[in-house]
Amino acid sequence: MAAKKHLKRGTPVLPQEIIQIILSNLPPNSLLRFKTVSKSWYTIISDPLFIQTHLCSSLSESNSFAKSQDPESQPVKLLEGPCGEYDVMSFCGCVLLLVEANISLKKRLVLWDPCTRTETYVWSPDICSGRQSYGLCYDRTSRNFKVVALSLETERYVVYSSRNRSWTKRHGFPGSGKPDTSAPGVYVNGAIYWVWRRSYNKIVIRFRDSTRFVNYDPFKNTFEEFEGDASCYEYEFVPYVH
């Protein structure tokens, strides 16, 4: 094994496992292009385990959209998105949650990944009359994206799993009283946070993975499960990364 195989120009031949490590450092755009290199590269790049690992490492980096809003980074290029009129509700890593901009009860939601330009269409759940609020997160345990839809009027919520392709009704709407805003949830560090106003107070609630909602105290960095009445905090802020 001492003799090393070399190509004409002096580049050593790299074994498959090293090529995989190198590829795992590339952004999605380059990876998709390099599927054209050869059949074996196509197989490596299309492997579900490879994609999973790549997704997890890119989610643990600082938020990709925060990066693209950095004035020193490249300007964001305009892309052709899914057909129709949509509002961007929430994002998680590279995936955006779009909600159809109309007033009908049944709306279309789209999970859109601009990096791979793939989109998944989902019909809004049946719980919804009146105002809704959405949040999107990635559940590392079950390895899929979850959309949380809160019906603010009926005080119910449902969770969509991208793996099961279905909505599940959940119990235990966070807190008491009605929030005055239907602002979407923000995904930070593996959880969705909402900042809600309830009459004169502001409260922060958190939804993590598949667990229940909790009340979150950003000053003490503690969480409390909702049991009946939620305690209220007075905040003037948005969720932050710690």
Partner 1 sequence: MAAETGTPTTLTLKSNDDELFSVAESAAILSVTIRNMVEDGCAGGVIPLDNVDGKTLASVITYMNGISAIPADEEKKKSYRDKFLSDKDFETLADMVLAANYLNMSCLMDAVSAKIAQVMEKKSVGWVRRKFGIENDYTPEEEAAVKEEHKWTFEGVETDDDN
CA 224 to each of CA 119, 196, 197, 228: distance values in angstroms, whole numbers, following the listed order: 36, 16, 18, 12
Piece of the chain touching partner 1 by CB under 8 A; list 6-14, 81-89, 100-108, 119-127: 6-14
- Token pair, residue 224, equals 């409390």
Residues in 97-126 that interact with partner 1 by CB under 8 A: 117
C-alpha of 191 from chain center: 9
Residue closer to partner 1 by CB (options 28, 239) is 28
Piece of the chain touching partner 1 by CB under 8 A; list 5-13, 81-89, 102-110, 203-211: 5-13
- Token pair, residue 180, equals 């005055």
C-beta separation of 82 from 119 below 8 A: yes
Closest CA to 37 of 25, 45, 28, 29: 45
Residue closer to partner 1 by CB (options 12, 172) is 12
Piece of the chain touching partner 1 by CB under 8 A; list 25-33, 96-104, 123-131, 192-200: 25-33
Applying CB under 8 A, what is the total number of residues that bind partner 1? 33
C-beta separation of 26 from 35 below 8 A: no
How are beta strands 166-170 and 186-188 bridged, if at all?
A: unpaired
**Minimum distance from residue 120 beta carbon to partner 1 (Å):** 17
Residue closer to partner 1 by CB (options 82, 177) is 82
User: Using alpha carbons only, how large is the chain's radius of gyration in Å?
Assistant: 21
**Minimum distance from residue 68 beta carbon to partner 1 (Å):** 16
Residue closer to partner 1 by CB (options 39, 220) is 39
C-alpha of 31 from chain center: 21
Residues in 36-65 that interact with partner 1 by CB under 8 A: 36-42
Closest CA to 94 of 69, 118, 65: 65
In three-state secondary structure terms, 101 is coil
Tell me 220's DSSP state.
T
Piece of the chain touching partner 1 by CB under 8 A; list 7-15, 84-92, 197-205, 234-242: 7-15
- Token pair, residue 198, equals 């309830």
Instruction: Select from 16, 25, 53, 166 the one that contacts partner 1 (CB under 8 A).
Output: 25
**Minimum distance from residue 97 beta carbon to partner 1 (Å):** 22
34 touches partner 1 (CB under 8 A): yes
Which residues would be at the binding site for partner 1 (CB under 8 A)?
Answer: 1-2, 4, 7, 9-14, 18-19, 21-27, 29-30, 32-42, 117
